[in-house]
Amino acid sequence: MRFLTVIVSYIAVAIVTVSVASAHEAQEESVKMNFDAVIPNLPGKSLKAVEVTYPPGGMSRPHTHPSSGFIYAYVVEGAIESKVNDGATHIYRVGESWPEPPGALHSISRNASKTKPAKLLAVFVVDTNEKP
């Protein structure tokens, strides 16, 4: 009987672990390419834009932007909490925007709301051959 209790306990822990992991994955952003074109008068440079959509409570993992990429971010829907490099954490709302320098560490990028979705448009000027 004790063996059965131990087995059931392990199964319960596994189910909870998988459920928590699935919930965490569901909280991540989705990224969709919106625009991608070579800039004809800037050899080796491209203009790219991505839509980043966050579910309620959603977030991006901390990441570093391309070393060649200058980024302009614009909030299309909801509110986005962001922290770039050593700057202050700031909440940007619909219609607000901010720049991000090449190679920036983006330690915080998340939906400021736990109940409503949020979306931003990130526009990059980046080396054409730079990989995401």
Structural domains of the chain ordered from first start:
29-127 (2.60.120.10)
In angstroms, the CA 116 to CA 78 distance is: 7
At 27, the pLDDT band (50, 70, 90 cuts) reads confident
At 4, the pLDDT band (50, 70, 90 cuts) reads very low
- Enter the tokens of residue 27: 């909280």
Q: Is the predicted pLDDT of residue 103 greater than 60, yes or no?
A: yes
In angstroms, the CA 16 to CA 67 distance is: 40
Q: What is the pTM of this model?
A: 0.77
Q: Report the percent of the chain where pLDDT is more than 70.
A: 80
Q: Is the predicted pLDDT of residue 120 greater than 50, yes or no?
A: yes
In angstroms, the CA 82 to CA 56 distance is: 15
